């Protein structure tokens, strides 16, 4: 667009050229501000470090026309600068960011004596926290640029103009370094990085540092959250003298399960995949699945026998049997034979032979000791036999004699395991407590389901589980995975108080029956068997004596 600025044609043309240049400059500045605004908005919302580095690189090259660029990241653990992006247009090179890892060795920031290395440009910028630039880096005084020159020579390249600047957070800590090589004009000639370039790069570095700082803060908080969860899990495990590693092993198997599914490319579950956030969410849930046991009494968690309270009361029962035999010997020596026989029948009933009374007591003590260990199921006959022992209860010469108390009888008559019904109910409360505890925590949105997954590992697809009796359509896949991990670990663990560790075949047989009864997910158990995941876990955590050779097809036939 031409303006009539002066009646003199030549002057008017000159003025129009000035106006055009001013407009072009203004337009470039507006575009520059818009780009900085857009990248600032994008960086503030981006959490993927690879994408953040890509954005930094592309904007820096777009504005300066640089032929090459390197972005370094500070590693606090190793105190090195690590290559995050290496780019060179002339050499058609791009590594790092979303283009994979850079395989170059990191640069140490300190020498072998712990002194800062300031002889190289990037390490000096890290330590001084100041931007440096050179019209010709080969003439950079006070710096060792032999590495740059050597690399150039090997690649037939010439690094000339350079600007290197730190990425600093709000606490003036250096998070990384940006280094630009060979600014170019429109004709492809190498030029110096001018004041505008450096100003823009400094602004970009500040925005990038904020984004990186935010990302570091998020990662630190997530790391702290995972460490806190791990510490809580360990505290709960230490609470029990038996299942000291149950939570850790279930969490590990849960992680193994999810990763194995991600690698799977066939079968019914080939499309079941978890992204990075979902993997971490599931891992948290696995770690926290038994957090509610923090309120479960040790007397229940550690009840390894039916008669155990503070101690295993079988020792008291055994002492009563010894006392009973001593009494009988005393009575036999003190009374006529007929009266002694009458006493025995009155105390023990007609079924016990008088002359075999001590053998009977020995046999019944052996029986009680065995029953006390718990098992899969007690028959009615065994329950009645225990009741008969509880009926032996009498007084003699002012003293009270019995073999087992009413409470001991009830505990010994536990049909399966070692827990009384009220103890089972109290143990089951741990999942409700797990929900109560975790649902009160404000997890990041991407981990919002941790409480749900953790608190549903005892639900069953047929609706017979607890605490809510959920049915299949209400139980997400993540909860089903934790349920399988929990039951498999419990069956094979060598340190459970209420049952002996099962072999692989025994454990998988029980799980197959759970599938048949509609308790466990059929497809997940199929995958657990077919993928060999059960064996991976067994080789890592189980006693070799437990690892036999299960017949997978026979196991699947139980529920197919």
Tokens at residue 54, please? 């890509």
Q: Do 397 and 290 belong to one domain? A: no
Give the count of domains, the chain: 3
Percent of the chain as helix, strand, coil, to the nearest 5: 55, 10, 30
Write out the two tokens for 415.
Answer: 């049909």
CATH of the domain at 428: 1.10.3210.10
Residues 406 and 432 in one domain: no
CA dihedral 549, 553, 554, 558 (to 10 degrees): 130
Residue 547 has pLDDT above 90, yes or no: yes
User: In the numeric block, which tokens belong to residue 176?
Assistant: 């990384």
Please state the pTM of the whole predicted model. Answer: 0.69
**pLDDT tops 70 at residue 496:** no
Residue 341 lies in a domain: yes
Residues β-bridged to residue 70: 86, 179
- What gap in Å lies between CA 167 and CA 212, rounded to an integer? 9
Per-residue confidence (pLDDT) for residue 416, from 0 to 100: 85
Residue 374 falls in which region: left (phi positive, over 0), alpha (psi -120 to 50) or beta = left
Torsion from C-alpha of 424, 425, 431, 436, nearest 10 degrees: -150
Q: Is 174 domain-assigned?
A: yes
**Is the residue at 129 inside a domain?**
yes
Show the tokens assigned to 19.
């106006």
Spatial contact of 213 and 170, defined as CB atoms under 8 Å apart: yes
What local confidence, expressed as pLDDT, does residue 273 receive? 96
Question: What does the pLDDT look like over 355-399, one tens digit per residue?
Answer: 999 999 999 999 999 999 887 788 999 999 999 999 999 999 999
Report the candidate in 393, 392, 387 with the shortest Cα–Cα distance to residue 412.
387
d(CA 162, CA 67): 10
- Give the residue numbers spanning the domain of 261: 240-301+423-559
Residue 306, in any domain of the structure:
no
Q: Which tens digits make up the pLDDT trace of 244-266?
A: 688 899 999 999 999 999 999 88
Q: What are phi and psi of 394, to 5 degrees?
A: -155, 170
Say yes or no: 200 and 120 in one domain.
yes
Indicate whether 355 belongs to any domain.
yes
| Lowest-confidence region among 94-108, 120-134, 316-330 | 94-108
* Of residues 493, 488, 498, 431, the one with CA closest to residue 465: 431
Q: What is the DSSP string of 497-549?
A: SSSPPPPHHHHHHHHHHHHHTT-S-HHHHHHHHHTTHHHHHHHHHS-GGG---
Instruction: Grade residue 498 by pLDDT with cuts at 50, 70 and 90.
Output: low
Interatomic CA distance for residues 260 and 238, integer angstroms = 30
H-helix segments, 91-194: 121-128, 146-154
Whether residue 446 is contained in a domain is answered as yes
- Residue 3 counted as domain residue: no
């Amino acid at each position: 667009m031409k303006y009539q600025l002066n009646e003199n044609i030549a002057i008017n043309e000159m003025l129009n050229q000035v106006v055009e240049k001013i407009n072009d400059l203004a337009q470039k500045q507006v575009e520059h501000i818009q780009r900085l605004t857009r990248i600032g908005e994008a960086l503030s919302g981006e959490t993927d470090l690879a994408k953040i580095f890509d954005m930094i690189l592309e904007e820096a090259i777009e504005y300066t026309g640089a032929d090459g660029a390197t972005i370094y990241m500070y590693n606090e653990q190793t105190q090195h600068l690590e290559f995050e992006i290496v780019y060179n247009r002339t050499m058609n090179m791009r590594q790092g960011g979303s283009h994979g890892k850079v395989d170059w060795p990191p640069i140490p920031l300190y020498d072998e004596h712990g002194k800062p290395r300031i002889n190289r440009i990037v390490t000096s910028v890290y330590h001084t926290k100041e931007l440096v630039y050179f019209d010709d880096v080969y003439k950079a005084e006070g710096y060792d640029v032999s590495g740059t020159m050597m690399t150039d020579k090997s690649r037939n390249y010439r690094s000339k103009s350079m600007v290197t600047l730190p990425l600093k957070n709000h606490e003036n800590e250096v998070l990384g370094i940006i280094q630009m090589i060979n600014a170019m004009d429109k004709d492809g000639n190498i030029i110096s990085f001018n004041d505008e370039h450096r100003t823009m790069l400094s602004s970009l570095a500040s925005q990038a540092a904020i984004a990186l700082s935010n990302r570091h803060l998020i990662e630190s908080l997530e790391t702290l959250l995972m460490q806190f969860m791990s510490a809580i899990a360990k505290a709960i495990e230490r609470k029990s003298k038996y299942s000291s590693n149950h939570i850790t092993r279930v969490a590990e198997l849960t992680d193994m399960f999810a990763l194995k599914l991600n690698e799977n490319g066939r079968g019914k579950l080939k499309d079941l995949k978890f992204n990075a956030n979902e993997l971490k969410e599931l891992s948290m849930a696995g770690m926290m699945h038994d957090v509610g046991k923090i309120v479960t009494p040790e007397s229940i968690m550690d009840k390894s026998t039916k008669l155990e309270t503070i101690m295993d009361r079988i020792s008291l029962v055994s002492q009563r049997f010894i006392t009973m035999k001593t009494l009988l010997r005393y009575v036999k020596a003190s009374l006529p034979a007929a009266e002694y026989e009458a006493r025995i029948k009155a105390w023990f009933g007609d079924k016990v032979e008088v002359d075999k009374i001590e053998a009977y007591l020995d046999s019944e003590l052996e029986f009680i000791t065995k029953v006390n260990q718990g098992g899969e199921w007690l028959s009615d006959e065994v329950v009645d036999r225990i009741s008969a022992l509880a009926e032996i209860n009498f007084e003699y010469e002012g003293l009270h004699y019995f073999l087992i108390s009413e409470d001991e009888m009830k505990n010994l008559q536990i049909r399966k395991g070692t827990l009384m019904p009220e103890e089972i109910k109290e143990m089951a409360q741990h999942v409700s407590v797990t929900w109560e505890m975790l649902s009160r925590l404000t997890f990041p949105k991407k981990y919002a389901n941790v409480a749900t997954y953790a608190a549903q590992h005892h639900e069953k697809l047929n609706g017979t589980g607890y605490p809510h009796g959920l049915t299949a359509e209400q139980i997400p896949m993540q909860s089903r995975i934790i349920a399988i991990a929990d039951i498999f670990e419990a069956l094979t663990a060598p340190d459970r108080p209420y049952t002996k560790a099962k072999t692989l075949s025994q454990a998988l047989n029980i799980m197959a029956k759970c599938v048949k009864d509609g308790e466990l997910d059929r497809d997940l158990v199929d995958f657990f068997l077919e993928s060999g995941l059960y064996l991976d876990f067994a080789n890592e955590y189980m006693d070799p004596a437990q690892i036999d050779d299960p017949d997978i097809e026979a196991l699947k036939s139980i529920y197919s």
